[in-house]
Amino acid sequence: MSKRDYYQVLGVDRDANRDALKKAYRRLAMKYHPDRNADDSDAIDKFKEAKEAYDVLSDDRKRAAYDQFGHAGVEGAAGGSGGFTSAGGFRDIFDEVFGDIFGGRAGGERVYRGSDLRYELGLSLEEAVFGTTATIHVPSLIECDACSGSGVKSGSSPEACTTCGGAGQVRMQQGFFSIQQTCPRCRGSGKIITDPCRECGGQGRRRREKTLSVKVPPGVDIGDRIRLSGEGEAGQRGGPPGDLYVEINVREHPIFTRDGNNLFCEVPIGFGTAALGGELDVPTLNGRVSLKIPPETQTGRLFRLKNKGVKSVRGGATGDLICRVVTETPVHLSSKQKSLLREFEQSMQQSGKRHSPKESSWLDSVKQFFEDLKP
């Protein structure tokens, strides 16, 4: 399989300087690093590819040979398919680019990864079940356009810190002991900005509201999180940006409640339907379905409609819709209706049968309770 052009791999121009190469590699390495993508072979391959490209283009001798002869000019010089061992070693390149993010030094200058951000996204139940694309507005610190994140006014450059001599570290002698610590003036950068960028005040970042499009997959639930890589706050001094975590919150629905993959709803039925049976339409998220109510249905009875629930974002079978019927007592009765109900009640009492099994058993239990209290 032919290799891609190294400049295309890093996404830089052919005249890109070392800082541009380092910034491009840092962005790709943070995105595709194996620690973040342990189960993604494609991401790991892209990480190796980016590392190989940076290994060659960051070395003046290798780069000159590559520019003149292409891949043939550096065959065997880059680590590529041979894993993470190359001329200079993977760890040397990674430490050179990321410096103090992982405990090392980057040419004497500290870089800092941007902070992760959290955003709560409110969805309707329908949006959570079927998926949607949401537009969100996130206040964040972004890289200053005027100074490209350097914090220095255009045309100027930082000066070496006079306290530490540009080393970023100072040594203090206490008796027989010598202690090395971060320079308090430049805070470890080794440089001092004497002419800061007017737009960001030397911070290298500005507060702006970013507008992002979030693709919400079908079946998400409350508490699920969607990670948008690199959409957090911008890093400092060329450091990589943080990530944005979009946390799902599903608003209360007027009809349905969700429990896992199942949906629940209450279905009110009239006194006549409960006693004589009938058929009624009930809502589902996919439209109406007919629910058959058998005669003598008691309030609280559950009816299960298969596959009318939710298919989770994590896969598995689609849940069910569980309907709980609730018998409503008639209200606003006319004199005639009340008279008919009294006549109906008398006819049931005179029949000698138990028309209300729960009521009868409860009365029997109460009678036995009082019998047991007698001395």
Domain with CATH 2.60.260.20 in the chain: 117-146+202-250, 254-329
Q: For residues 58 and 71, what is the distance between their CA atoms, to the nearest angstrom?
A: 15
Per-residue pLDDT tens for 228-254? 998 988 887 667 888 999 999 999 999
Q: For residues 313 and 88, what is the distance between their CA atoms, to the nearest angstrom?
A: 44
The DSSP secondary structure of 36-68, one letter per residue, reads: T-TT-HHHHHHHHHHHHHHHHHTSHHHHHHHHH
Per-residue pLDDT tens for 288-337? 999 999 999 999 999 999 999 999 998 889 999 999 999 998 889 999 99
Q: What is the dihedral of CA 96, 97, 101, 105, to 10 degrees?
A: 30
Contact (CB, 8 A) for 6 and 66: yes
Sorting pLDDT into bands at 50, 70 and 90, what band is 91? Answer: very low
Taking alpha carbons only, the member of 289, 249, 245 closest to residue 265 is 289
Is the domain covering 117-146+202-250 a CATH 2.60.260.20 domain? yes
Q: For residues 198 and 215, what is the distance between their CA atoms, to the nearest angstrom?
A: 37
pLDDT of 200 reads: 84
pLDDT of 71 reads: 80
Residue 122 has pLDDT above 70, yes or no: yes
Say if strands 117-123 and 244-250 run parallel, antiparallel, or are unpaired.
Answer: parallel
pLDDT of 225 reads: 93
Contact (CB, 8 A) for 357 and 298: no
- Owner of token pair 């970042």: 205
Degrees, nearest 5: CA angle 118-240-58: 165
Q: Which CATH architecture has domain 254-329?
A: Sandwich (2.60)
Q: What is the mean pLDDT of residues 341-365?
A: 76
Per-residue pLDDT tens for 132-187? 999 999 988 888 888 877 788 887 888 888 888 878 788 776 666 667 788 887 87
Report residue 94 as tokens. 């990674």
pLDDT of 211 reads: 92
Say if strands 191-192 and 159-160 run parallel, antiparallel, or are unpaired.
Answer: antiparallel
Q: For residues 335 and 301, what is the distance between their CA atoms, to the nearest angstrom?
A: 32
Q: What CATH number belongs to 6-102?
A: 1.10.287.110
Sorting pLDDT into bands at 50, 70 and 90, what band is 360? Answer: low
Q: Which is more confidently placed, 352 or 124?
A: 124
Residue 97 has pLDDT above 60, yes or no: no
pLDDT of 76 reads: 57
Q: Where are the alpha helices (DSSP H) in the chain?
A: 6-10, 18-32, 41-57, 60-69, 90-98, 125-130, 271-276, 335-351, 357-373
Per-residue pLDDT tens for 257-279? 999 999 999 999 998 899 899 99
pLDDT of 127 reads: 95
Taking alpha carbons only, the member of 138, 149, 111, 115 closest to residue 242 is 115
Residue 25 has pLDDT above 90, yes or no: no
Domain with CATH 1.10.287.110 in the chain: 6-102
